[in-house]
């Protein structure tokens, strides 16, 4: 256990001390922030007003700002949880590329512990950054217009941690096959650029064509993003009822902003989204364990202390 | 007592035979040099020795234990200095040593004691808190050696430890390694491109194409694979030509190769007028390597 703790601590230190690893991991969230400030923020505000139509006169600017802020922060967290996990796993690939892995493997530490240490450190680093982002996000939402309940706050943290676990498992599998700096840089860039679109963080799924919307519903990340949208925007949107906005319109808005997802026309309840997320995490972790076991067997020495 | 025993080691990569029936042994406390060009099978043999690579067949024992049966136990006895530094560049030397020590269960006061010892041995005081990325090649090498010694290994494997270092730093590194060997009695297993570094070894193995071509002490190798050289100063080249034996010009001097010291003595006594200012030297390890493998050593100038 001490060895595991020591390896995890080393990987975490390396991530935060190596500017070449830490700073690129913030690219995807920064792109999203930039897009929001540049034009997406106004697009969302206009979109909310257009959905409300004549009822937009009934709601306050605080309502619109609160919904827009909820969308931004939920999208930011959904993207960060996965893209930062890929960046945090750079430590594993760098170790393989620079020879540190070889050095660790000539020590008596079992290979399984080394693999677990990369997984745990990736989860911890990503969780830490996301928890800081959550704290910052809550401050921003409080300034824009706070409508969240205590349950929303807790569920938002749970959703983020589950997405981090999902991102950690996925990135661990991908990074298992990478052995060069070039390889991980290519993967990091691709994931940073594409994941936001693929999980419905940049654009509500409702804005996409039906076939693409249905295709994205096969990706587990979409369900995590949907949960975050619901827990950071749902209460804000529902608060419009206090201003006299009809419940049908509120339900439409929630669907339009991916708070309520549907799979080929069937509504997906929150528990089903959690189930999809959990099953995918178990599956991905299982695949990672299998890959590691096969690799250790090939090396010929799954050792014991 | 034998520190390493390798018998008929064979390693295939697919259809390629990387190590072909290699057998040798290294005594405890010995300075052993393992020479060969790139692709000779040195790294493969080292990886098998460290339990990092399975062998196809053969016996590999370290301190009397089979590497496949007790890998963890054997790894506690081995320290490796890799050709490329294995230190984490963003971390300080102390952090690197602390991380490494913890892999062997050396923490807390035990680590502090070990750190103090290594700091004194390798003169690390000035660089202990500096990030590895900001150190010079020589300083980094000292830190690398400290990292490999942090758990008091009985066997220190040095994989081309001085490649890329300037001559003065190379000399310093060797002074440190000699000190470690003398003080601790550590067995040193060296691979190097600089053949002269192997000249001080107790025992040398030359490997080529996965096979051992020579296995002896440096003196035996020099006597077997090279002749002696008489270097003549202020000699008349035309008169030397009349001897009808091969020679070459080396700067201002002429260098004559003879079979051995007896032949050199005979030549000098037969032509005393030519040999007024001269020296007799043994062949170098570079010449040994060239004559054994037919290949120029990669580190030769």
- pTM equals 0.84
Determine the distance in angstroms separating the CA of B264 from the nearest CA of chain A, rounded to an integer.
50
Put simply, the answer to whether A6 touches B91 (Cβ < 8 Å) is: no
Chain B residues with CB under 8 Å of A98 CB are 84, 86
Mutate to test the interface with A, among B46, B71, B144 (most CBs of A within 10 A): B71
CB neighbours of residue A136 within 10 Å: 12
Q: What is the mean pLDDT of each run of 10 residues along chain B (301 residues)?
A: 92 89 92 87 89 89 88 89 89 94 92 92 89 90 91 91 79 83 88 84 90 90 86 87 86 87 88 88 83 69 44
Show Cβ contacts of residue B124 under 8 Å, excluding neighbours closer than 6 positions. Answer: B93, B118, B142, B143, B146
Q: Which of residues 79-138 of B touch A (CB under 8 A)?
A: 80, 82, 84, 86, 88-91, 95, 99-100, 102-105, 107
pLDDT at B192: 83
Residues A34, A77: contact at Cβ < 8 Å?
A: no
pLDDT at A303: 43
What angle do helix axes B137-149 and B108-122 make, rounded to 10 degrees? 140
- Between B82, B89, B107, which is nearest A103 by CB? B82
| Segment A121-157, tens digit of pLDDT | 999 999 999 999 899 889 989 988 888 999 999 999 9
Chain B residues with CB under 8 Å of A3 CB are 102-103, 105
Q: Taking residues A93-102, what's their average pLDDT? A: 88
Mutate to test the interface with A, among B55, B72, B79 (most CBs of A within 10 A): B72
3-state secondary structure of A162: helix
pLDDT at B130: 95
Put simply, the answer to whether A10 touches B52 (Cβ < 8 Å) is: no
Please list the alpha-helical segments (H only) found in chain B: 42-49, 71-77, 93-102, 108-122, 137-149, 167-184, 218-225, 237-241, 261-270, 285-293
More confident residue, A182 or B99: B99
- Determine what percent of chain A is predicted with pLDDT higher than 90: 36
pLDDT of A302 strictly over 90: no
Distance from C-alpha of A152 to C-alpha of A174, rounded to nearest angstrom: 32
Distance from C-alpha of B34 to C-alpha of B55, rounded to nearest angstrom: 18
Q: ipTM of this model? A: 0.79
Would you state the torsion angle of the CA atoms of residues A22, A23, A27, A30, taken in this order, to the nearest 10 degrees?
110
Mutate to test the interface with B, among A9, A18, A23, A108 (most CBs of B within 10 A): A108
Query: Which backbone phi and psi does B6 adopt, to 5 degrees?
Result: -120, 125
pLDDT at B299: 55
Put simply, the answer to whether A108 touches B78 (Cβ < 8 Å) is: no
Q: Taking residues A169-197, what's their average pLDDT? A: 87
More confident residue, A36 or A135: A135
Q: Taking residues A256-281, what's their average pLDDT? A: 90
| Segment A1-24, tens digit of pLDDT | 888 999 999 999 999 888 777 777
Chain B residues with CB under 8 Å of A102 CB are 52, 82, 86
- Between B86, B89, B103, which is nearest A3 by CB? B103
Map out the domains of chain A as residue ranges.
2-304
pLDDT at B223: 85
Distance from C-alpha of B56 to C-alpha of B118, rounded to nearest angstrom: 38
3-state secondary structure of A171: helix
Kindly state the tokens that stand for B168. 């003065």
3-state secondary structure of B79: strand
Determine the distance in angstroms separating the CA of B10 from the nearest CA of chain A, rounded to an integer.
15
């Amino acid at each position: 256990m001490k060895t595991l703790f020591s390896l995890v601590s080393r990987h975490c230190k390396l991530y935060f001390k190596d500017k070449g690893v830490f700073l690129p991991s913030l690219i995807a969230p920064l792109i999203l922030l930039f897009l929001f400030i540049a034009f997406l923020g106004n697009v969302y505000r206009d979109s909310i007003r257009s959905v409300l139509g004549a009822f937009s006169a009934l709601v306050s600017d605080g309502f619109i700002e609160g919904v827009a802020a909820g969308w931004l922060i939920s999208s930011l967290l959904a993207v960060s949880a996965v893209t930062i996990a890929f960046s945090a796993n750079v430590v594993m690939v760098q170790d393989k590329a620079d020879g540190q892995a070889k050095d660790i493997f000539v020590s008596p530490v079992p290979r399984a512990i080394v693999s677990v240490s990369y997984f745990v450190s990736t989860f911890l680093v990503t969780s830490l950054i996301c928890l800081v982002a959550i704290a910052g996000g809550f401050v921003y939402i409080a300034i824009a217009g706070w409508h969240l309940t205590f349950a929303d706050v807790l569920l938002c943290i749970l959703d983020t941690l589950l997405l981090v676990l999902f991102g950690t498992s996925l990135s661990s599998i991908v990074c298992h096959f990478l052995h060069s700096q070039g390889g991980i840089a290519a993967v990091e860039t691709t994931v940073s650029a594409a994941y936001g679109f693929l999980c419905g963080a940049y654009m509500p799924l409702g804005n996409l064509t039906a076939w693409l919307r249905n295709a994205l519903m096969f990706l587990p990340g979409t369900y995590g993003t949907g949960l975050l949208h619901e827990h950071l925007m749902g209460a804000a949107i529902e608060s419009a009822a206090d201003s006299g906005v009809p419940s049908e319109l509120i339900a439409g808005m929630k669907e339009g902003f991916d708070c309520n997802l549907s799979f080929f026309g069937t509504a997906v309840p929150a528990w089903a989204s959690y189930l999809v997320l959990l099953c995918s995490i178990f599956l991905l972790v299982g695949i990672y364990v299998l890959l590691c076991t096969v690799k250790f067997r090939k090396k010929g020495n799954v050792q014991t202390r | 007592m034998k520190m390493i025993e390798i018998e008929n080691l064979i390693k295939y990569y697919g259809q390629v035979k990387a190590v072909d029936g290699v057998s040798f042994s290294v005594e405890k406390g010995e300075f052993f040099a393992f020479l060969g060009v790139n692709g000779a099978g040195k790294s493969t043999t080292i990886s098998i020795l460290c339990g990092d690579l399975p062998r196809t067949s053969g016996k590999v024992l370290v301190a009397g234990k089979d590497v496949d049966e007790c890998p963890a136990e054997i790894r506690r006895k081995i320290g490796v200095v890799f050709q490329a530094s294995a230190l984490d560049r963003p971390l300080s030397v102390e952090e690197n040593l602390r991380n490494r020590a913890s892999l062997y269960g050396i923490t807390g006061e035990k680590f502090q004691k070990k750190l103090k010892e290594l700091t004194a041995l390798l003169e690390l005081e000035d660089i202990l808190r500096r990030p590895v990325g900001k150190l010079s090649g020589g300083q980094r090498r000292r830190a690398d050696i400290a990292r490999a010694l942090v758990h008091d290994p009985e066997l220190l494997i040095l994989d081309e430890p001085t490649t890329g270092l300037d001559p003065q730093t190379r000399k310093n590194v060797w002074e440190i390694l000699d000190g470690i060997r003398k003080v601790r009695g550590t067995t040193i297993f060296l691979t190097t491109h600089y053949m002269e570094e192997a000249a001080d070894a107790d025992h040398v193995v030359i490997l080529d194409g996965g096979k051992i071509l020579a296995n002896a002490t440096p003196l035996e190798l020099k006597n077997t694979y090279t002749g002696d050289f008489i270097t003549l100063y202020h000699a008349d080249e035309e008169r030397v030509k009349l001897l009808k034996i091969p020679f070459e010009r080396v700067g201002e001097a002429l260098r004559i190769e003879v079979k051995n010291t007896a032949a050199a003595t005979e030549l000098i006594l037969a032509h005393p007028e030519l040999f007024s200012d001269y020296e007799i030297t043994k062949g170098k390890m570079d010449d040994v390597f060239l004559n054994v493998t037919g290949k120029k050593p990669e580190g030769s100038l």
